[in-house]
Amino acid sequence: MKELSKLMGYRSDVKVVDATLRDGGLVNNFYFKDEFVKELYKTNIRAGVDYMEFGYKASAEMFDENKFGKWKFCHDDDIREIVGENESELKIAVMADVGRCDYKKDIIERKDSPIDLVRVATYLNTIPAAVDMIENIAAKGYEVSCNIMAISNAQESDVKNALETLSQTPVDVFYIVDSFGSLYPEQIARIADLYMDFAVKYGKKVGMHAHNNQQLAFANTIEAVGDGVDWLDATYGGMGRGAGNCQMELLLGFLRNPKYSIYPVIQFVEKYIRELKEEGVVWGYDIPYLMTSLTNQHPRTAIQFIKDNRTDYTEFYKEVFSQE
């Protein structure tokens, strides 16, 4: 059992990553107002957040820049528009999806970029491609994490192989990603142990990215930190795809390191997150997400259900369970 007394202490290696623009961008196609992004940046600095993820480095050849807000592409100039020379402790992150990022061209040398960390997102079957990306991006001077998605329906032996492979690369952090919000804390404990085995052996860190399909995003995140996981993703108001993510306000209320401050988070939520909600941007736990989660599916059908203003949960139940 974890020691209750540790709740009073803290591990200074813990890093909080604000993923609001990136995972939240999946909700509103990355159309955030500049004021929102600037205030979020300032708020993260005041709150003591360690990394702010601005969005994706998506391929402009694959995605039409007129059909998405700019944070799907995260041009260095757009980031500089917000952060200037970023004279703060807050580091800047972007996500790069395997197969959807022209990383050789679009990710320049770190010394010329405002970006500090690139998070390489991959499924298990594209680990070899992820390795190429990690090596290329690390050689340019960036910190790199590898976010292995959708592990809740993966074979444990495949996850082990992936971790073994990634251990040989310059990647800094292995991320546990519960894409379908399907995992219970007990399972997180077990997965964290597996990831930690490789991390300790090869000098890496482990991160946690949770989804709230069963109202467990926060619970799974604090389970993970108790298991030695250092990198914790959260978003303001839990904004994120479908049921959303671990809420920043809950997480900073839990962490005991005095560098973190919840008050600026509350201020931001009161003004800017409420504003988004009032404009009709929808995310957060609802019954359909429980159902896709129980069946270990991508939440896309649940997102569509909510978007269609459907409320016939029982029909949806039958649809979801018959897909198995």
Residues that bind a second copy (CB under 8 A): 1-2, 4, 7, 184-187, 189-190, 193, 212, 214-219, 222-223, 226, 247, 249-250, 253-254, 262-263, 266-267, 269-270, 274, 287, 290, 294, 311-314, 317
Nearer to a second copy, 65 or 312 (CB): 312
Nearer to a second copy, 114 or 264 (CB): 264
Instruction: Annotate 281-299 with b (16+ C-beta within 10 A) or e (fewer).
Output: eebbbbebbbbbbbbebeb
Nearer to a second copy, 207 or 238 (CB): 238
**What is the closest distance, in whole angstroms, from the C-beta atom of residue 4 to a second copy in the complex?**
5
Q: Are 89 and 49 in contact (CB under 8 A)?
A: no
One-letter identity of residue 289:
Y
**What is the closest distance, in whole angstroms, from the C-beta atom of residue 312 to a second copy in the complex?**
7
CB half-sphere exposure, 157, CA atoms < 13 A: 0
Cβ–Cβ contacts within 10 Å for residue 87, how many? 8
Q: Are 55 and 72 in contact (CB under 8 A)?
A: yes
Nearer to a second copy, 98 or 188 (CB): 188
**What is the closest distance, in whole angstroms, from the C-beta atom of residue 138 to a second copy in the complex?**
34
Nearer to a second copy, 84 or 253 (CB): 253
Q: Quick one: DSSP state of residue 46? A: H
Q: Are 123 and 146 in contact (CB under 8 A)?
A: no
**What is the closest distance, in whole angstroms, from the C-beta atom of residue 270 to a second copy in the complex?**
4
The length of the chain in residues reads 324
One-letter identity of residue 135:
E
Quick one: tokens of 126? 């594209």
Nearer to a second copy, 12 or 314 (CB): 314
Sign of CA dihedral 184, 26, 260, 16: positive
DSSP alpha helix (H) spans, 48-116: 76-83, 103-106
**What is the closest distance, in whole angstroms, from the C-beta atom of residue 271 to a second copy in the complex?**
9
Q: Are 146 and 170 in contact (CB under 8 A)?
A: no
**What is the closest distance, in whole angstroms, from the C-beta atom of residue 239 to a second copy in the complex?**
14
Nearer to a second copy, 179 or 220 (CB): 220
Q: Which residues pair with 143 in a beta bridge?
A: 117
**Cα separation values, 310 from 161, 211, 280, 286, 296, Å:** 42, 22, 16, 12, 21
One-letter identity of residue 170:
P
**What is the closest distance, in whole angstroms, from the C-beta atom of residue 59 to a second copy in the complex?**
36
**What is the closest distance, in whole angstroms, from the C-beta atom of residue 215 to a second copy in the complex?**
5
Q: Are 183 and 191 in contact (CB under 8 A)?
A: yes
Q: At what angle do helices 287-294 and 300-307 cross, to 10 degrees?
A: 160
Nearer to a second copy, 87 or 186 (CB): 186
